[in-house]
Structure formats: structure tokens, C-alpha cells
Amino acid sequence: MTKAAPDAYLIIITNPLNSMIPLACEVLKEANKLNARKVFGCSTLDSVRAATFVGEAICKDPKTVDVPIIGGHSGNTIIPLISRSNPPACLEGDDLQKMIKKIQEAGTEVVKAKAGKGSCTLAMAYAASRLIFSILRAADGEKEIVESAYVKSDVMPEVKYLASPLLLGKCGIEKNFGLGKVDECEKKMFCEAMEILKKDIEMGEKFAKAKICEAQKNSKKS
């Protein structure tokens, strides 16, 4: 990619996504081809799940429901901002906690249901196509296109990569909306997720640097 299409959009959906995006960015940076505005981790799948489950709970078509996602793309790092659901979802107490867990563990539930013989392939394909079409519409000049995705970010100094709502434009990410307003429950979840994200990001970066170093050594030998 760095040679054949250095200005292409890169959308990754392969897990572990929290580590894969840092890995990809390190490789692109080493080749001096990193344009972080065009590198996306498709955590959009979490947006799709959140809209589906919340839509069912409030009896609305999921296509008309928006639930911002922040954090990452694994387990407890997935933080659905149900407090900012549009239309509003009046979920509290146990109902709210069950909804959060349902969104966070949706992928695991599919793998269990398939007895380890597959994953949520169609859901991933749908989420990827949704993000791709949103990027293309924005690149074509359509305004106010917002999607949540896991990207290189300066929103929080503690972590270099984060999922958050993004305004898309002609050249990729036009604006990162960051965390926005969160309630106390969401703030607590985010603080807990930060420690997991730090480790996941570090793992991706270390793996990339080790492989780059190995390739450089092999190149000198040949």
C-alpha cells in the first residue's frame, strides 16, 4: 500500500482492532506515508449494534437511531453513550447496565452461538460498507456526515488512539468531536477502559516496531 497507493483510505476491521490501528500507523509512519486523517478502525460495528439494540428497546427503526461510541473496540473498552442517544432512550438502573453489556458483548455472543466456528461476518460487512459509503459521500462533498470510528487521536493525552464521533470531509477526518458530554456512569467506564487501551496500543506499536527492525536487519544481510 505504501508504494502502490500511499494516499488511499485504510479501513481496518480485523481484530484486535485496538492494536491493529496503532500497528498500521507505525508501518505507514516508517514509510513516511502516514496520513492519519485517512486511517480508520471500523468500530462502526459497535454503532450499528447500539442503534439496533436501543432501537428495539424504544420501538424505533434502528436506521433512525444514533448512539455515539467512544473508547475502543473490545469488551469493556466499548462505551456506548446512551445518555446521548437520539432519539432519547430512557434506560436506567439494571435496564441500562444490561443494555451496555449487551452492546459490549454482542460479538462474543455470536462466536459462542457458532461454537467457535465463525463470527459476525455479515454484521462486520454491513458496518464496513456503512463507513465506506459515509467516507465516499463526504469525499464527494456531502456535508455533516458523522460516524464513530477508532482512529489516531489527540483527544486524550494518555492514549494516542481512540474511538469517537468524527466529522468526515473531502480529505478524510475533518473534525474529531472527542468525548463530548458524558454522564457519571459513562465517565467511570471510560476511565476503566483507558488502562486497557493503553496496553492494547502499546502491544500494537511494539509488534510493528519489532517487525520493522527485523525487516531492516534482513535487508542489510541481503
Q: Is 103 helix (H, G, I), strand (E, B) or coil?
A: helix
Give me the active site residues, please: 46, 73
b/e map of 41-70 (b: 16 or more CB within 10 Å)? bbbbbbbbbbbbbbbebeeeebeebbbbbb
| Widest Cα–Cα separation across the chain | 64
For residues 44 and 148, is the Cβ–Cβ distance under 8 A?
yes
Helix residue ranges per DSSP H, the chain: 17-30, 44-58, 93-104, 106-113, 121-139, 184-221
DSSP class of residue 112? H
C-alpha cell at 133: 459509503
CB 77 within 8 Å of CB 164 = no
In eight-state DSSP terms, residue 84 is G
Q: Which are the contacts of 158, defined by CB distance < 8 A and separation ≥ 6?
A: 194, 198
In this structure, what C-alpha cell is assigned to residue 191? 476511565
